Structure 1
Amino acid sequence: MPIPEDVTGDEIDKDVRQELQSLPKTLAEDVARNLVMVARLLDEDPEGAYGYSRVALRLASRVAAVREAAGFAAYATQKYGEALAEFRAAKRMTGNIDLWPVMADCERGLGRPEKALDMAGAPEVHKLDKAGQVEMRLVTAGARRDLGQLDAAIVTLQSPELAANSVQPWTARLRYAYADALLAAGRENEAREWFAKAVEADRDGSTDASDRLAELDGVEFVDALAEDENEDHENEDHETGVVPASASPEPAEGERDTHERDEIVDDEIVVDEDDKDEDDKD
C-alpha cells in the first residue's frame, strides 16, 4: 500500500521504536512507516488502517507493538475475533495487562457478554491503572446491558470517578454511558442531566452527547447551507424567467385537445402543399 513521502517512521512512540530495533534497519523503517499510517487512519478510515496493519503484520509478526496495532485496527473494523487473537498474542509477548478491557469488549462483540463479565472479575483487573479500571467498568456495564440487566448496568457505572467534579480523560465517556443507561431504563430526566454533564466534560468531541441532549430537548438542527443553496436556485429561476417544470400549469382537457388538433392540422397542411407541388409538376 502506498505511503506518503512525508511519513518517515520517526513519528512513532519511542517505546515502539525500541521494539523495532530487533529488526534489520530497512525492515524496521518499513514497519514503522506502516504503523504510523495505522495510527493516522484508525479513527477516520478504519479500513485503510486495517490494510496498513496487515502489511506491518506480514513484515514483523513477532513484534508485540505490531500485534497490538493489528488488534486495534481489527477492533475498529469490528473484526472482533481477529482483534482478540492479536491482543492475546501481544499480551503473551509482553505480559502487559493494559489490553484486558478491550479484550473483554471483544468478547462482547463476539456475542459473549458472560465471558466479558468473567474477565471483569479476574485478578488482572486489580493490576490495571485508574484509566484501565474505568474502561473495565464501562465494558462491564455494556455487558450487563447486553444481557438486559439495565439496573445492574446503572449500578456498575455509579462510582467515585462518575461523581468526581474534576475532568479526566475518561470523564465524558463515563458520564455519557451513565446517561445512556438511564435513558434505556426510562429515566429521561436523570438522563438529560447526565448528558448535560457529559457535554461539559467532552472538550474534544469524543461523544455525541450534545446531539443526544438536543434530541431530548426537542431541538431540531437545520442545514443552513442546504437552505441557502435552495434559495439561490429559486432566485436564479426568478431572475432568468425560468419556470421549474414542476410549477408549469397542466393544460386543461379541452386545451390539450385543441393543441393536439392544431399539430395534426399543421402536419396535414404541410403534406397537402407537398402533394400540390407534385401535381403542378405533373
Structure 2
Amino acid sequence: MDKDVRQELQSLPKTLAEDVAKNLVMVARLLDEDPEGAYGYSKVALRLASRVAAVREAAGFAAYATQKYAEALGEFRAARRMTGTVELWPVMADCERGLGRPEKALDMAGAPEVHKLDKAGQVEMRLVAAGARRDMGQLDAAIVTLQSPELASQSVQPWTARLRYAYADALLAAGREREAREWFAKAVEADRDSSTDASDRLAELDGVEFVDALAEEETSGVEDAEEAAEVDEADEAEEPGKPVESTEAVESTEAIESTEAVESDESGHVASPEAGDKD
C-alpha cells in the first residue's frame, strides 16, 4: 500500500484501519481483472471510512472502471476537496466525456488547473481533450491536439505508448492509413508492458492473420477421435468369422428343396413313416 495512504489510515482506530486497508488492497488487485469485484470492495471501504480521501479516490476509480461515471465523478470531487490537489483533474474530465459532455471536458482541458499537473498529468489531459474532440466528430482537431513535444520525443516514458497509440488511432480514423501504420509501429516499440493492442492493430493493417496453434491441435484431436469412433462402430456392425448369407441364396435353396420333395413324392421313391411301420 502507498505510504501516503497508510498515513491517512493512521487517523482511524487500529482495527478499523486494518479492515479498511484490506478492502483497499483488494480494490487495487481486482481493478483491472475484475472491476465489479473491485467496486464491491470499494463500497465496503466507503461504509467504513468515507471521510478518508484515499477511500473516496479508490471508490472513484472502481466506479470509473465499471463505467459508473456520475458516481465516479462525485467520488473524485470529494477526494479533491479533501486533499486540495489537482491530480484527479484529467480523470474527472474523462468522466464528463463518459456522461456525454465532451464540451465540459474541453473546458476543463483549458482550465488553470492543467498547468499545475506534472508531465504525466498533462499528457493524460491531452489524451482526454483529443478524445473529446473525436466525440464531437472533430478528427482533424483531435490529431492536432495530440501533436506535442511529448509525441515527437524519442525518449520512452510510461505514457509514451498510449500517446503514440492514440495518435495512430486518430490518423486511421481520418483515413491516413500510411501514417497510422508508422505510429502504430512506434507505439509497439514503446509498449514494453503490453498496455495497448498496438501490435494487433499493426498486424491488421499489414494483413497478417494470427492462428491459434493450440486451438488447431485441439480441433485436430477431436476430429481424430471422431474418426476412430466411426471405425469402431463399423467394426462392431460386422462380426468377424460369421458369413453373411444373402436373402436371394436362402430363397433359392428353399425353392430347390421344395421342388425335389414334390418330385420324390410323385414317383413313389420316398415312403411316409406310416408305410414303414406297416412293413
TM over 0.5, shorter chain = yes
1:1-282 correspondence runs (5 A) = 12-242=1-231
Greater CA radius of gyration, 1 or 2?
2
Query: How far has the Cα of 1:237 moved from its partner?
Result: 3.2
Letter in 2 for 1:192: R
Question: Is contact 1:237–1:243 with CA below 8 Å preserved after alignment?
Answer: no
Gaps (5+ residues) in structure 1? 1-11, 245-282
Distance 1:143 1:225 in 2: 41
Distance 2:128 2:44 in 1: 30
CA deviations on 1:111-148 (whole Å, 9 max, x unpaired) are 00000000001000000000000000000000000000
Q: Secondary structure at the match of 1:182?
A: helix
Tell me the equivalent position of 2:246.
none
What TM-score comes out, normalization by structure 1 length?
A: 0.81
- Equivalent pairs counted in the alignment come to 233
Which range moves more in the overlay, 33-42 or 233-242?
233-242
Compared with structure 1, are the counterparts of its residues 237 and 101 closer, same or farther at alpha carbon in structure 2 (3 Å cutoff)?
A: same
Distance 1:143 1:200 in 2: 27
What TM-score comes out, normalization by structure 2 length?
A: 0.82
Query: How far has the Cα of 1:219 moved from its partner?
Result: 1.1
CA RMSD of aligned residues (A): 1.2
Compared with structure 1, are the counterparts of its residues 243 and 132 closer, same or farther at alpha carbon in structure 2 (3 Å cutoff)?
A: farther
Query: How far has the Cα of 1:66 moved from its partner?
Result: 0.2
Distance 1:188 1:242 in 2: 53
Distance 2:227 2:26 in 1: 51
